[in-house]
A and B are shown apart, each in its own frame.
Chain A
Amino acid sequence: MEILLLIFLPLAGALISFLFGGSQQVKTVAFIWSLLSLVLTAYLLSGFDTASSIPQFVIDQPWLSYFGVRFKAGIDGISMILVLLTNVLMPLIILSSFKHAYSRPGAFYGLILLMQSALLLVFTALDAFLFYVGWEAALIPIYFICALWGGENRIKVNMKFFIYTFAGSLIMLIGILYLYLQTPDRSYDVQSFYQLALSSSEQSWIFWAFFIAFAVKMPVFPFHTWQPDTYTEAPTTGTMLLSGIMLKMGIYGVIRWLIPVAPLGFAQWGQLALILSIIGVVYAALIAFTQKDIKRLVAYSSISHVGLIAAGIFVWNTNGLQGAMIQMVNHGINVFGMFFVLDIIIRRMKTRDSFELGGIAKVAPQFAVAFLIILLGTVALPLTNGFIGEFLLLMGIYQHSIWAAAIAGLTIIFGAVYMLRMYQRIMLGTTNAQTSTFSEIDGTEKLVLGIVCALVILIGVYPNPILDISEATVKSLVELVDGKLHGVSTTF
């Protein structure tokens, strides 16, 4: 029952916001509502058994019985991490939008809460059909958020975004349907999918059907071309939702629905996926070097960082996966913080060109410190959250291949270079006529940046609680896939 509340609480908030959200007051309501979800998550966390790899708080009700679809959802370690990330970030994202006065606020905050609902459905669904419904349902609100409140080019850019992701997910739907038709008991249950013994060539097809959908969402090179434009044109809140939470849908999908369902397909094509991810790491970093537009720079850096997470998954060992799990949280926090920092700058300075800025640290020292902490987290300095994640990821990749680790490790060096260069251009040097008017952060800005900085350092110093949550589930998944792969090598 808790799960139902978790999924549908934001939906109720969305309806309230749609119906009664005439004035800007609705942002407070939305914020309080998202805090309710956070409280509920804390409650779930307190009752969560980290030693178990089995989904907990499971709800299993018939839904579309004619199609064999059940409303089956639950939380295991992997889901817990993402539920936690979603419900921690949501209040922060809503709080960070307080300085904006978006037109039609009722619709705006309604769509955000609607999206939260869909995301939670994706992260807790244990039925492939349910997962697919959540997957698509998350797309509609973000499309409207980006296309209604976005920048000048928003219509064209968002059409591209929509077509890309919709195409990916329809191909995934074929995969899901195919798997469903193979199950002996005609069910979409994730466990039934795990137990299928399909031939190697079938699994290859399944692998690609799912991989493309997830690769578009993350995005993995070469499926990333929608991302920089969409991030840049979206309203800041939309960018935070997309980069902070939504792209984790793709990563989560790979862990839950791709590799355990089609391990033989993974055995054949996983290496290629790994190479693509690593190409993405380097390629996006190189492009990030040349960006003058600060929002685009962070967009490319996000591709680079996510590429590393994807690589950590495609090596499929405990270290890589654990690194991916914690790095998803870190990336969510850091990229949110980063976009919020940029939002503060852009809102005050009305420019995204880093060359038109400079010397802001002199006029706004508190802001400069917060920006620096978040930036160091992003470039994975030891004792910040990013370090733990990237360290585990690189260790996992190293166990697989030293060369892959060496190339993927470049991300830390590259990241440090382009990020620090950006910081230098924006914050250091001499002030100009415009930047000298930069006013110090206040009120909600201080609060949000304070929380983000605290999280960056806290997780960096003491990451164990988060690692503990996912450990048991990650281990059991690794065993499951190894067992299937091993089983095959002995039978054939």
Chain B
Amino acid sequence: MSALITITVLALILLYLGLFKASKALLPVALIGLVVALVLSLMEWGANAEPIFSRMMLYDHFAVAFSGITIFSTILILALSKDYFERISSNVAEYYALILFSLAGIILMVSYHNLSMLFIGIEIMSICMYILAGIKKKDFASNEAALKYFLMGAFSTGILLFGITLIYGASGSFDLEMIKQYILNDPAGVSPLLYTGITLLIIALAFKVGAAPFHFWAPDVYEGSPSLITAYMSTVVKTAGFAAFLRLIMFSFAPIQDFWVPIIITLAVLSLLIGNVTAVYQQHFKRMLAYSSISHVGYMLFSLLALNGSSDNAVFVYAAAYSVASIIAFGVLILMQKQVGNDSFDSFNGLAKKNPFLALTLTIAMLSLAGIPLTAGFIGKFMMFSRALASYHVVLVVFAVLNAIVGIFYYFRVIVAMYFKQEDRKELSVPVFFKFVLGLSALVTIVLGVYPDFIAGLI
């Protein structure tokens, strides 16, 4: 739990640093603090975790692993933020603090043991994100993104709360263990209230992770928000949303699989189809990433189809692979937007000649997102497919494979533009921090692709 405390205190320290105009110290302090939090969180890796704080939270392996990956991703994203917020306004300290507060919410989301904690975690995270989406005060798109995100988010929170209430009404408890016991006591006589509650919970969480058909907010919000925030939303926030989803379903609702599996299948199929097909028609890199992220939610939902203990591993690997690859993509996107002022596919033309390093890392990221072997993305997809096949959803896997083929079209557009289309262009200058983050992420992508053993069976 020390990670949660560290992060919260860190956010407060950053606010004070802002108060005393120590803006140079903000980034280093934030990064060092997060590394400390990461180490502290990993140190809690151990056997027999017990629920703590009056059974409110459970810091088990699942929680440690997902806190680890979210904190790690946040570190990488913040490392890209040098001089980023300064260009937006002078309230830099608040932005860092908001990101860290949202991270604190995320830690709650991955380690809750009580539905009220889930709700609080989601709210802490969401409210920070509403503000962060709109930090470009004078920018129309950013305002639109913040408002849309807020309205949709508020709705889904309402639905979430409604679902939790109904589950409480049926089972008499917020505690995951008690709810599970209630279901196990008499699986046939479970109250209809509970079923309604589960449906509402799934809908609310589908909103949060941007699964179709509850995805309509996602493309506009992703596009309108500042790219760094989009990177954060589509990696850390999405991973956390998924972890929350998984924890609930795996832990409490596994005995009544027959009820919710059809719902999940519908969500997965729609997400894959809508995300992939619309991504093909995008002309801008950022919007393409937004739609493709919907399709990745579809793949991740596959892991829920066969619950026998390794769903969490599958989601973890997929989320890790997807996060590092997305961070590369957004990193290059930020440079491109800043120095070219445009992120259409054409603006990538000829990049390989001037910036071979950027082109190489982005290619690795795209190959990983497309699921080519020897990259982390392949291992992720491979685990998802084997999960679904293990429970004999063969048709579904064939459908997913067809979608993976569609994915080639849009991921390769960037590669084609960078390597095969010639254009005279200026070299992009790449700051040291970017080089470090992109290089590290590319390395992680390859290492996870070649030897994923050390995280594949982790949880």
Contacts and interface: CB of A to CB of B under 8 A. Distances in A.
Interface string B365-398: 0010000111000100011011001100010011
A132 B408 contact: no
B451 interface: yes
Contacts of B419: 144, 147-148
A67 B416 CA distance: 33
Contacts of B385: 173-174, 177
A154 B456 contact: no
A213 to B, nearest CB: 12
A171 interface: yes
Interface in A147-195: 147-148, 154-155, 159, 162-163, 166-167, 170-171, 173-174, 177-178, 180-181
Interface in B392-439: 394, 397-398, 401, 404-405, 408-409, 412, 416, 419-421
A133 interface: yes
A173 B386 CA distance: 10
Interface in B322-379: 367, 372-374, 378
Contacts of A155: 416, 420-421
A140 B416 contact: no
A177 B367 CA distance: 21
Interface string A267-302: 000000000000000000000000000000000000
B452 A163 contact: no
A152 to B, nearest CB: 11
B255 interface: no
A64 B376 CA distance: 13
Given A155-B420, A181-B389, A136 B452 contact: no
B416 A181 contact: no
Contacts of B394: 174, 178
A66, A137, A162: which has the most chain B beta carbons within 10 Å?
A66
Given A171-B401, A173-B401, A177-B389, A140 B408 contact: no
Nearest to B413: A159
Nearest to B370: A166
B457 interface: yes
A136 B373 contact: yes
B397 A174 contact: yes
A174 B401 contact: yes
Contacts of A137: 373-374
A65 interface: yes
A163 B405 contact: yes
A133 B372 CA distance: 9
| Chain B interface, DSSP helix/strand/loop, else mixed | helix
Contact of B367 (A140, A171, A174, A181): A140
A167 B372 contact: no
Contacts of B456: 64, 66-67
Contact of A174 (B398, B405, B409): B398
A162 B412 contact: yes
A177 B386 contact: yes
Given A133-B374, A173-B385, A177-B389, A147 B420 contact: yes
A177 B385 CA distance: 8
B373 A133 contact: yes
Nearest to A135: B373
B453 interface: yes
B373 A66 contact: no
A166 to B, nearest CB: 6
Contacts of A163: 405, 408-409
Contacts of B451: 63-64
A408 B1 CA distance: 73
Nearest to B388: A177
Nearest to B406: A163
Given A133-B373, A140-B367, A178-B394, A66 B405 contact: no
A166 B452 contact: no
Contact of B389 (A67, A148, A171, A178): A178
B382, B383, B404, B452: which has the most chain A beta carbons within 10 Å?
B382
A181 B386 CA distance: 8
A247 B279 CA distance: 33
A140 B419 CA distance: 14
Interface in B37-79: none
Nearest to B405: A167
Contacts of A64: 451-453, 456
Given A66-B457, A162-B408, A174-B397, A140 B389 contact: no
A65 B386 contact: no
15 contacts: A66-B457, A67-B382, A67-B456, A137-B374, A140-B367, A148-B420, A159-B412, A163-B405, A170-B401, A173-B385, A174-B385, A174-B397, A177-B389, A178-B394, A181-B389
Interface of B: 367, 372-374, 378, 382-383, 385-386, 389-390, 394, 397-398, 401, 404-405, 408-409, 412, 416, 419-421, 451-453, 456-457
The 10 closest A-B pairs by CB, nearest first: A66-B457, A66-B456, A136-B373, A170-B401, A133-B373, A167-B405, A177-B389, A155-B420, A177-B386, A147-B420
